[in-house]
Structure 1
Amino acid sequence: LAREEGKTLPEAIGEVVRAGNIFKFFAAEALRCGGETVASVRPGVSVDVLRQPVGVVGLIAPWNFPIAIPAWKIAPALAYGNTVVFKPAELVPGCGWTLADILSRTALPKGVFNLVMGAGSQVGQTLVDSPRVKAISFTGSVGTGRRIIAACAARQAKVQAEMGGKNPLVVLDDADLDVAVNSAVQSAFFSTGQRCTASSRILVTEGIHDRFVEAVVAKLGTLKIDHALKAGTDIGPVVDQRQLEQNLRYVDIAQREGGTLAFGGDVVERETKGFYQRPALITGTTNAMTISREEVFGPVANVVRVRDYDEALALANDTEFGLSAGICTRSLKHASHFKLHAQAGMVMVNLP
């Protein structure tokens, strides 16, 4: 995890432990696979609803959580009687191989779990197009996900896709400043910002805006960017040169469109060679700017000043994405309203 993805040691340990727990959870769930018996409109007839395996399931996983996300896909597929063809991302073959090696030492019959390596355009496309693969689960970019959904729909295969996000974090005037800063920094910059649920778009009301930005900048200045396995490292390297160049390009675009680089964003060198970048905080942005509309997938976040809760909610929902959202507030009224009206699959309150 550290070598291939750049994950810090505490985060890597946490991910592997979680993956193990996922397998334990679904091992237990396999014992209670239920169904339903319901009455029919026809007199004297009952209807049994059964849940049965679909057959061969193709699993296409991303590079940012290369142990945990495959576990989320593999464990339930196996628990409910399917066979699996698992394709890890090209950037993390070692993680994929290690997970496959562990599974190969279990009591799984041969052929139930299968590992395939290669480019998504070739190996992944083969899985998506194969009539023998009855279902696809994909995590990755929006563009690739849309193509997979279209291809599966054309041949009526089951498909599940979890794609990108430009996730808003709303900070209201009544928020606990320490809680808000911790939520923003943890969510936007830890894991090097390489999370689809990262809160990279921070909407802050006028009364707390300046204090919040000042406190975030101060906090970012204390973070240690270094070798992923070095003790005390907060943020490891970006995954590769291409991703680093993309991060830098978005920082430049944000400034050219009128944003102010309040902190970081630059490349730094360390004793161990790697793609190190200081977290970038960009202020003075609007929700119409490129930095607010497109997913960066790096340690880059922008702040948008808003008048009040109503404007914050409207801008939070003004996005093509709908993955996650968060709010920092002491108001039960606003927290409850946001949970109901934020157009996102996951909503966090006073948490990263």
Structure 2
Amino acid sequence: GAFIIERMVEAGVPEGVVNLVQGGRETGEALTGADVDGVLFTGGAKTGLAIHKMFADRLDVILALELGGNNPLIWWDVDDVEAAAFTVVQSAFLTSGQRCTCARRLILPEGPEGDKALLALGKLTERLIVGAPFDEPQPFMGPVISPKIAESLERAFDQLVDRDGVPVKNLSVIDEGKAFVSPGIIDVSMLADSVPDEEHFGPFLKVYRVKDFDDAIARANKTRFGLSAGILTDDKAKWEKFLALSRAGIVNWNRQTTGASGAAPFGGIGDSGNHRPSAYYAADYCAYPVASMEGEGLLAMPEGQVGVR
């Protein structure tokens, strides 16, 4: 954040036009309680809903909410299993799973193909290094945001295990009292719809095994969120069907769910936002359209004007 502000000042933006204010809940409440023209918020759905209610009677305030998601990734009819496993890892565990577009649910076919996929994913996940930014060898993942969040992620994972979820790779706090956790994968197919539709903001991937491709799409869409979604497949027809039926604002084919372009809209539907996509599109909704009709002189009334004696 500070780096961006410094570069803007270097580019000629007057000091004080853009300000970086850091803090917790009290700081956020002070800012949203001020006399503002707009609030652009990126964060959790619970906080976003509170902000939405706060400005429900303020039509004069531009409100743009980007609230994350319980994002699905389908793996179906893929020959290169190792490449697919790497793409899942990039989707689920990049930045320790702390991106709003991270894959939270992996959807696999029942039977040998799904077994092979899960085996390859488990083996690759075992190789991931968790550590501090300047550790050697260089880590793939750093810490989550705080020790408190690390403990809550471990607790949520263990609760699914207690309910007969099948762990593929255990998510656990690495050093007690610190924010480093191992990436976790758990098969919750037997729990199905009883799994809470929540975004666990960390390296926490739930696996669903389904009978056919229609079931895979239905499972992908079975969420109150709708930010990102992806499919890994060699079958272009399956991609086209998924793209047409997917309920998400960012839908990728054979690319990680965490990949997005700033030149395209960034946002989602459902509890993932309020239809104000950020990135390039934010420049449009942060302005207001003005329509004008112009003439250098007035128009004289024509001879024989209808309705005039």
TM-score category by the smaller chain? Answer: 0.7 to 0.9
Q: Which runs of 5+ in 2 are unaligned?
A: 257-309
Larger RCO of the pair (alpha carbons < 8 Å, separation 6+)? 2
The 1-side partners of 2:180 and 2:17 are apart by: 40
1:251 — aligned with what?
157
The residue that corresponds to 1:214 in the other structure is: 119
The aligned residue for residue 135 of structure 1 is 38
Hey, what's the Cα distance between the residues in 1 that align with 2:145 and 2:164? 28
Larger Rg: 2
1:307 aligns with 2:216: no
1:48 aligns with none
1:320 corresponding residue in structure 2 = 224
CA distance in 2, matches of 1:184, 1:117: 33
Measured against aligned partners, the alpha-carbon deviations of 1:177-222 in whole angstroms (never above 9, x if no partner) come to: 2232112111111210111111110010124111011111110111
Within the candidate set 226, 230, 234, 2:131 is matched to 226
In the TM superposition, what is the alpha-carbon distance from 1:330 to its structure 2 partner? Answer: 1.1
**Conservation of the 8 A alpha-carbon contact between 2:75 and 2:232:** yes
Q: Among residues 115, 119, 128, which one is paired with 2:20 in the alignment?
A: 115
Instruction: Please give the alpha-carbon distance, in whole angstroms, between the structure 1 residues aligned to 2:32 and 2:58.
Output: 10
**TM-score, normalization: structure 2?**
0.76
- Answer yes or no: is 1:260 the counterpart of 2:166: yes
The answer to whether the Cα contact below 8 Å between 2:151 and 2:173 also exists between their aligned partners in 1 is no
Deviations 1:252-290 (A, max 9, x none): 1111221011113122249xx942211111114343243
Aligned counterpart for 1:124 among listed residues 5, 12, 28:
28
Q: Offset at 1:139?
A: 0.0
Q: In the superposition, relative to structure 1, how do residues 123 and 163 fare at CA in structure 2: closer, same or farther (>3 Å)?
A: same
Give TM-score scaled by structure 1 length: 0.67
Task: Tell me how far 1:126 sits from its aligned partner.
Answer: 2.8
Q: Is the counterpart of residue 173 in structure 1 residue 80 in structure 2?
A: no
The CA distance in 1 between the partners of 2:79 and 2:200, in whole Å, is 27
Q: How does 1:48-59 map to 2 (within 5 A)?
A: none
Preserved CA contact (<8 Å) 1:176 1:329: no
- The code of the aligned residue for 1:211 comes to K
Alpha-carbon shift at residue 101 of structure 1 (Å): 4.1
Aligned residue for 1:17? none
User: How many angstroms apart in 2 are the aligned matches of 1:279 and 1:350?
Assistant: 22
Match of 1:242, as an amino acid? Answer: K
**Matched residue count:** 252
Question: For 1:1-352, what aligned pairs fall within 5 Å after superposition?
Answer: 96-120=1-25, 122-130=26-34, 132-156=35-59, 157-174=61-78, 176-207=80-111, 208-230=113-135, 231-269=137-175, 274-285=178-189, 286-290=191-195, 293-352=197-256
The DSSP-based 3-state class of the residue aligned with 1:200 is strand
Is the Cα–Cα contact under 8 Å of residues 148 and 179 in structure 2 kept in the other structure? Answer: no
User: Alpha carbons of 1:334 and 1:282: their partners in 2 closer, same or farther (altered >3 Å)?
Assistant: same
Are the aligned partners of 1:179 and 1:350 in contact in 2 as well (CA < 8 Å)? Answer: no
Query: What's the RMSD between the two structures over aligned residues?
Result: 2.0
What residue identity is the alignment partner of 1:232?
A: Q
State the AA in 1 paired with 2:118: V
Which structure shows the bigger proportion of residues in helix conformation?
Answer: 1
**In structure 2, distance between residues paired with 1:276 and 1:119:** 22
Contact 1:253–1:290 (CA under 8 A) maintained in structure 2 = no
Structure 1 residue 239: deviation in Å? 1.9
1: CA distance, partners of 2:194 / 2:99? 21
Paired-residue identity, %: 33
Which runs of 5 or more residues in structure 1 are unaligned?
A: 1-95
1:175 CA displacement: 5.3
SS of the residue aligned with 2:130?
coil
Q: Distance in 2 between matches of 1:223 and 1:167?
A: 22
- How many angstroms does 1:98 deviate by? 4.3
Output the CA distance in 1 between the equivalents of 2:39 and 2:203.
30
Q: Secondary structure at the match of 1:153?
A: coil
> What letter matches 2:173 in structure 1?
V
Contact 2:130 2:180 in 1 (8 A): yes
